[in-house]
Amino acid sequence: MKPVEIKKNIFWVGAVDYVSRDFHGYSLSPQGTTYNAYVVKDEKTVLFDNVKEGFLSTLLCRLSQVVEPEKIDYIVCNHLEPDHAGCLPELIKLCKPEKIYCSPMGKRSMEAHFDIEGWPVEVVKTGDSINIGSRDIHFVETRMLHWPDSMVSYIPQDKLLICNDAFGQNIASTERYADEVDRAVLEHAMTEYYHNIVLPFSPIVIKTLDLIAEMKLDIDMLAPDHGLIFRGDDVQWCLNKYREFAEQGWKKRAVIVYDTMWHSTEKMAYAVASGLESEGVPCRIMWLKSDHHSAVMTELSRCGAVIFGSPTHNNGLLPNVAKMLTYMKGLRPQNKIGGAFGSFGWSGECVKQLTEWIGDMGFEMPVEGVKVKHVPKHDTYQDCYNMGVEIAKALKEKCGE
């Protein structure tokens, strides 16, 4: 369990979790994740963040190869979520730091999670800085990116931004740098992480990126608390990718999301897809019994339209569809066209309820939903096909075609 020197006298001392398969409600299969922590050796030795409970021994093994834990002078808590601060009480007992730095909201979070009586906590705000010898550490609050307590730490002498959950990805590997893995794998992991965790805070992401630009921070390394570290030219690539994610521009692609009982709704989904294809709009069909809701959100990142299908079940929607809608609504995707379809046996509320859900999310609906009693026949297939055509036309107009 070797530490990794990422800059002169700055080391990664985190833990790799190959086993975890759930992260904030989205599936990590088959990746796992990492809990990154960093230590800076100077006149004062500083530990940035720590690891999830259960990984303390791994952290201490790596840390002790760099510095005796008892010689840690300061601990910086950029974020108090348990996967980054789960071992904080044990570390404080062991290290007995002179100071523990956190944001104003970080102190509140610390008080909520731990008994901090006697802890040498010092609150820092945007614009505050400390000197640790040959280096300065500048603090910038990034509230709601993605917790109220979040902040980043910038070391100008090393052009290093230690950025907690910002720019993270869930990748469990022995590689430490983004340029050491396949770019498609990295981009997928970034997309998945952003669209299942950070998406609701996109306006804050844009403000933060603008603030970094305004402050003219010279950055040649981004060190997040999950996943791989960005260095060199990859830094600007990462910043650009985050802006692209946050702006949520229109995209000429659709996803059809459905569940079915006796395959009638499923057959309708394929007819809608045919209509989209006929207008040159690529689409993917995702069945919620086999596709996890986090996979749907990752696919939605590439799509300007999402079309939901469900049969009526107990005067409502099938549970998988209701779960998907609840999850998606909480993540607040923007700039989407929606559609609804489904079958029913006797009461037929499904399409009305789908339409209401889609409307509540602020999606545009250029065509009325399609529903059928029992089994679709030629006329129903034609209606579904026409729905796909109309949604495709509306989407192409949004994309400037």
My answer on whether 279 and 296 are in the same domain is yes
Examine the pLDDT at 272 and tell me if it is beyond 70.
yes
My answer on whether 145 and 171 are in the same domain is yes
Q: Per mean pLDDT, which range of 66-80, 202-216, 283-297 is the poorest?
A: 202-216
Examine the pLDDT at 292 and tell me if it is beyond 60.
yes
Tell me the two tokens of residue 126.
Answer: 């945007």
What integer pLDDT is reported at residue 99 of this predicted model? 97
For residue 399, give the 3-state DSSP assignment: coil
* Any domain includes 109: yes
Examine the pLDDT at 236 and tell me if it is beyond 80.
yes
Of 85, 229, 48, 206, the C-alpha closest to 142 is: 206
Give the model's confidence band at 343: pLDDT under 50 very low, under 70 low, under 90 confident, else very high: confident
Beta strands across the sheet bearing 305-309: 283-287, 254-258, 305-309, 337-344, 370-373
Q: Per mean pLDDT, which range of 99-108, 172-181, 212-221, 325-334 is the poorest?
A: 212-221
My answer on whether 84 and 232 are in the same domain is yes
- Separation between Cα atoms, residue 204 and residue 218, nearest integer Å: 21
Give the model's confidence band at 90: pLDDT under 50 very low, under 70 low, under 90 confident, else very high: very high
* Any domain includes 344: yes
CATH assignment of the domain containing 360: 3.40.50.360
What integer pLDDT is reported at residue 327 of this predicted model? 92
Examine the pLDDT at 175 and tell me if it is beyond 80.
yes
Q: Contact at 8 Å (CB) between 221 and 272?
A: no
- Pick the more confident residue, 215 or 160: 160
* Any domain includes 49: yes
Average pLDDT, the chain: 91
Question: β-strand 38-40 against 33-35: which pairing, if any?
Answer: unpaired
Q: Per mean pLDDT, which range of 118-122, 207-211, 298-302 is the poorest?
A: 207-211
CATH assignment of the domain containing 20: 3.60.15.10
Q: Contact at 8 Å (CB) between 67 and 41?
A: yes
* Domain count of the fold of the chain: 2
- Separation between Cα atoms, residue 28 and residue 19, nearest integer Å: 9
My answer on whether 215 and 314 are in the same domain is no
pLDDT tens digits, 10-45? 999 999 988 876 666 665 567 788 999 999 999 999
Structural domain that includes position 365: 254-395
What integer pLDDT is reported at residue 346 of this predicted model? 78
Query: Taking the complete model, does pTM exceed 0.95, yes or no?
Result: no
Residues with catalytic function = 24, 79, 81, 83, 146, 165, 193, 226
My answer on whether 89 and 10 are in the same domain is yes
**pLDDT (average), residues 152-158:** 96
* Any domain includes 401: no
Examine the pLDDT at 146 and tell me if it is beyond 80.
no
My answer on whether 167 and 299 are in the same domain is no
